[in-house]
Structure 1
Amino acid sequence: MSMMREQAPRRRTPQRQGLGAPPVINPAGVVKRMLPRTLFGRSLLIITTPVILAQAIATFYFYDQHWERVTNNQAFGVAGEVAMVIEQLGRDQTPEDRDVTLDMVTRTTDLMVTFQPGERLPNWHRQHLFGILEHTLGRALDEKVGRPWTIDTHVAHEWYGINVQLPDGVLHVLSPERRLFSFTSWVFILWMAGSSLLLFTVAIMFMRNQIRPIRRLAIAAEAFGKGRDTPAFKPEGASEVRQAATAFLQMRERIQRQISQRTEMLAGVSHDLRTPLTRMRLQLAMLPDAQEVEELKADVAEMEGMIEAYLAFARGEGAEPATPTDVGALLADVVANARREGRLVELSLPDIAITVPLRANDFRRCVANLVGNAVRYAGRAWVTLQRQGGHLYVLIDDDGPGIPEEMREEVFRPFHRLDGSRNQATGGVGLGLGIARDIANRHGGDVLLEDSPKGGLRAAIRLPV
């Protein structure tokens, strides 16, 4: 009990500090979340909102001015005719005169009038009226007739019954609906609705034609970011869209030209360095054996290895086209090559084959570099293929020493090696991870390093699909 008393104030503390108060709702944020996110939806909203507002205002004005006024005039007209009949019946002295009056009214007007002597209206003062038309007609009868009355809306189809209490009986009047209701209101509403649907259809067709070039530009930019060529893309659409498409094409040409120049420069430098190295190796072969000569030969061999890495890096910038590739089969080929070299590598693939556009040779080099690093610095490696959402993941796990988290980005720099976590005697010049990330970037993806559940390092290749 003492523990409960000590903990109770702690549970109330957040409320005293205001932590339990309801969150403040930002109206601007709520409206922003309700708006459409696509350009097509926003453009259509910009077009349709003024039309809807204009029609709403016109409809309100029509009902407030035209429909109500016309209905009021028609109701008062019928009420006036009923009042005239009642006044004329009051002047008639005999039942025969009343019959003549009723026949004349039925013959000369649209009203069907009968009189029932001695009848009384039941509960006339308790009648509840529904609808604007009934209220308007009731107001007209109060003003024109000034006697007890009831309105029967179910007497017949398209007919209204008006019953008026007279001193010696009840006057029954049947009025057609057209005498009380203006059907032009429905025509007006149907015309507005039909014209709105027609305008919306035209607007949707027009906006789709305008949005299509923007979508094609977005698809071309996304494909170029994934390393895929889009030769069929050309500027089209409005002048602003054509300007954006032209700027994209010029940017793509500049990037491709820069990549080509970089590749040619690296290949040229690497090729030019081979000639003096070859001469140095020949001259060292002619010298007598000595420790200094052996050290120079080792330096020359290391430089040749660096040049080979340069050339491999340059070849990675080639113009290999992206083709549909079975990723599982490609990984199985890489794992089989590693196993032939005596490496312990396990492969896990999904049940369904995954085919995506890839530069097969480049991607094989990317996976081979990562698998080679894993088996070089660890005893065993695991390769797993997964698909999550819109991305494809190739996971390479090992049980080696791993890489410290604060140094995982540095290993992607060219010729950068970690003495503490990577054995210098195992070979390599520090370009493997850089080449792997460069290839993944050209496919629109990336290579990420993280802790492996196997106890070592995990290299994850993430590609958009």
Structure 2
Amino acid sequence: MSGAAPQPPLALRGLKRFAPRGLLGRSLLMILGPLLIVQAVALTAFYGGHVDVISRRLATSLAGEIGMVTQLLTQLPEEAHPAILREATWRLGLGIAFEPGIQLGAIPARPPWSPLLPLETDLAQALTRLVGLPFDADWLSDAQNVVVRVQLEGGLLDVEVPRKRLFSATLYLFVIWLVGSAGLLALIAVLFMRNQVRAIRRLAAAAEDFGQGRDGGAIKPEGAIEVRQAAIAFNQMQENIRRFVSQRTEMLAGISHDMRTPLTRMRLSLAMLPRDEASAEDIAGLVQDTEEMERLVETYLAFARGEGLEAAREMDAVPLLEDICATARRSGGDVTLVAPASLRLRLRENGLRRALGNLLDNARRHASQVRMAMQLNGRWAEITVDDDGPGIPAAEREAAFKPFASGSATGTGLGLAIARDAVRRHGGEIMLEESPMGGLRARVRLPV
């Protein structure tokens, strides 16, 4: 028993919605995603391990030195204080001064000097543990030093600590290396993948142009080996199709030429036959059959040849539609046209004239009234041909486009096939629908 295909989890469907849709974006995501994850893990391990340990050790060392100085100043008499300060300044590399009679005021609230590093927190904890006296650590007043003030019984001890005593430059070097290497690899990946994707895009554009009848010649193989192989195969396919179309066209042109000769002789023979009242009707029927055979030959040749050799050009489509409708009226059809004043499109004039002419001929043969309309609908120009005839059942509409289809709307079964081929060469499409007039609607969509 077959069941429904398994659906991906809801979370995956949500992520898929935000995933890149293009090959370039997806390739870069596959390359750079793991790289960024590895870099983030490395940075987290470095920050959580190395930086934290070094910061605590440097803060503890400094706090121990300040605590030793405060202990000496507290335990020894004042006569020894100048010597203690001189020795501490020289041996510890700190700027130490004692301000007698000064009291440590209220510590103002300051923004953190580096919110991403634990330096200030580690120093404050170490001073609290090893000094045990009221203190203030100022990280912002001096760009080169951290000023630590410790409240003693007789005054205030000022200690200027060079920032290098508390901060390791290896953090900057590590972050620069991490970000720089990631940026360099990302740049190389973008440049490399852009070249690969550009080759694929050119191949896709060439295939689209060739499918719409715009023959731009062979494309240059470039990119990865697989893309080059695809380009070479595409060039070979183009050449094979051109050769096949050329052979088919030449063969049918030869057949058409060979058939025109006996048809011409038949028409001449019919024209020279003596006419009397008994044979006039038979001769007229034979002439009509001969003309129908000539029309069929031209129709078959037009279907085989197509309009691929005609170059597209930008033109106003409205006068073309007016001319097609006027031709249909001269053939006895009741045709009306509803169109804007002007609409410029890139068209193959003869191909579109043949396609729309076939649609109008089909409509007027089976209906008393025909209406053609054109309007702009977003990226498409839509041309509709409506009639009030019997129409075609929905189940049989697609089959009506097949050449020589049984029950076709045209006598030869090629009218709709030729129309669809011409419209698709413009990059458009043709569809059969139910008409508001009660019959059949042919909707032609052309790219703007």
User: 2:400 matched to 1:414?
Assistant: no
For 1:453, the equivalent position in structure 2 comes to 436
Q: Which moved more, 1:30-39 or 1:361-370?
A: 30-39
Q: How many percent of aligned residue pairs carry the same amino acid?
A: 45
For 2:174, the equivalent position in structure 1 comes to 188
For 2:13, the equivalent position in structure 1 comes to 29
For 2:46, the equivalent position in structure 1 comes to 62
Distance apart, 1:247 and its partner CA: 0.7
Distance in 2 between residues matched to 1:119 and 1:60, nearest whole Å: 42
Distance in 1 between residues matched to 2:403 and 2:90, nearest whole Å: 107
User: 2:242 matched to 1:242?
Assistant: no
For 2:148, the equivalent position in structure 1 comes to 162
Q: Could you say if the C-alpha distance between residues 156 and 318 of structure 1 is closer, same or farther in structure 2, counting changes exceeding 3 Å? A: closer
The one-letter code of the counterpart of 1:140 is A
Q: 1:218 aligns with which of 179, 200, 204?
A: 204
For 1:402, the equivalent position in structure 2 comes to 391
Distance in 2 between residues matched to 1:295 and 1:42, nearest whole Å: 69
Distance apart, 1:448 and its partner CA: 1.0
User: 2:324 matched to 1:334?
Assistant: yes
- Size of the aligned set, in residue pairs, is 434
Tell whether the 8 Å contact from 1:213 to 1:241 is kept in structure 2 after alignment: yes
The one-letter code of the counterpart of 2:66 is V
Distance apart, 1:226 and its partner CA: 1.2
Distance apart, 1:230 and its partner CA: 0.8
Q: 2:420 aligns with which of 437, 441, 451?
A: 437
Matched residue of 2:67: which SS? helix
Q: Could you say if the C-alpha distance between residues 450 and 306 of structure 1 is closer, same or farther in structure 2, counting changes exceeding 3 Å? A: same
User: 2:358 matched to 1:369?
Assistant: yes
Tell whether the 8 Å contact from 2:317 to 2:342 is kept in structure 1 after alignment: no
- C-alpha offsets along residues 331-353 of structure 1, whole Å, 9 cap, x if unaligned? 23323433455644333444663
Distance in 2 between residues matched to 1:449 and 1:265, nearest whole Å: 33
Q: Which moved more, 1:24-33 or 1:233-242?
A: 24-33
Distance in 2 between residues matched to 1:140 and 1:437, nearest whole Å: 85
User: 2:352 matched to 1:354?
Assistant: no
Distance in 1 between residues matched to 2:36 and 2:268, nearest whole Å: 88
Q: Which moved more, 1:105-114 or 1:69-78?
A: 105-114
1:218-367 equivalences under 5 Å are: 218-231=204-217, 233-277=219-263, 285=273, 289-290=278-279, 299-316=289-306, 319-341=309-331, 343-350=333-340, 353-356=343-346, 358-367=347-356
The one-letter code of the counterpart of 1:203 is A
For 2:94, the equivalent position in structure 1 comes to 110
Distance apart, 1:302 and its partner CA: 4.0
For 1:84, the equivalent position in structure 2 comes to 68
For 1:101, the equivalent position in structure 2 comes to 84
The one-letter code of the counterpart of 1:360 is E
Distance in 2 between residues matched to 1:404 and 1:316, nearest whole Å: 28
Tell whether the 8 Å contact from 2:213 to 2:308 is kept in structure 1 after alignment: no
The one-letter code of the counterpart of 2:301 is L
- C-alpha offsets along residues 281-303 of structure 1, whole Å, 9 cap, x if unaligned? 66664697357666666555544
User: 2:126 matched to 1:140?
Assistant: yes
Tell whether the 8 Å contact from 2:137 to 2:148 is kept in structure 1 after alignment: yes
Distance apart, 1:248 and its partner CA: 0.7
The one-letter code of the counterpart of 1:371 is L
The one-letter code of the counterpart of 2:367 is A
Matched residue of 1:192: which SS? helix
Matched residue of 2:432: which SS? strand
Matched residue of 1:321: which SS? coil
Q: Could you say if the C-alpha distance between residues 334 and 230 of structure 1 is closer, same or farther in structure 2, counting changes exceeding 3 Å? A: same
Tell whether the 8 Å contact from 2:137 to 2:147 is kept in structure 1 after alignment: yes
Distance in 1 between residues matched to 2:140 and 2:420, nearest whole Å: 82
Tell whether the 8 Å contact from 2:420 to 2:430 is kept in structure 1 after alignment: yes
Distance in 1 between residues matched to 2:341 and 2:202, nearest whole Å: 34
The one-letter code of the counterpart of 1:185 is L
Distance apart, 1:188 and its partner CA: 3.2
Distance in 1 between residues matched to 2:286 and 2:330, nearest whole Å: 34
TM-score (norm 1): 0.79
Distance in 2 between residues matched to 1:47 and 1:318, nearest whole Å: 43
The one-letter code of the counterpart of 1:174 is E
The one-letter code of the counterpart of 2:175 is I
Q: Could you say if the C-alpha distance between residues 298 and 344 of structure 1 is closer, same or farther in structure 2, counting changes exceeding 3 Å? A: closer
Distance in 2 between residues matched to 1:208 and 1:452, nearest whole Å: 48
Q: Could you say if the C-alpha distance between residues 246 and 24 of structure 1 is closer, same or farther in structure 2, counting changes exceeding 3 Å? A: closer
Matched residue of 2:309: which SS? coil
Q: Could you say if the C-alpha distance between residues 106 and 181 of structure 1 is closer, same or farther in structure 2, counting changes exceeding 3 Å? A: same
For 1:16, the equivalent position in structure 2 comes to none
Distance in 1 between residues matched to 2:302 and 2:134, nearest whole Å: 105
Q: Could you say if the C-alpha distance between residues 103 and 270 of structure 1 is closer, same or farther in structure 2, counting changes exceeding 3 Å? A: same
> Which runs of 5 or more residues in structure 2 are unaligned?
1-6
1:381-396 equivalences under 5 Å are: 381-396=370-385
Distance in 2 between residues matched to 1:84 and 1:190, nearest whole Å: 37
User: 2:195 matched to 1:209?
Assistant: yes
Tell whether the 8 Å contact from 1:445 to 1:464 is kept in structure 2 after alignment: yes
- C-alpha offsets along residues 397-422 of structure 1, whole Å, 9 cap, x if unaligned? 23333333222233323345759xx7
Distance apart, 1:119 and its partner CA: 4.4
The one-letter code of the counterpart of 1:30 is G
For 2:3, the equivalent position in structure 1 comes to none
Distance in 2 between residues matched to 1:222 and 1:372, nearest whole Å: 31
Distance in 1 between residues matched to 2:382 and 2:166, nearest whole Å: 74
Distance in 2 between residues matched to 1:112 and 1:460, nearest whole Å: 92
The one-letter code of the counterpart of 1:413 is K
Q: Which moved more, 1:217-226 or 1:252-261?
A: 252-261
Distance apart, 1:458 and its partner CA: 1.6
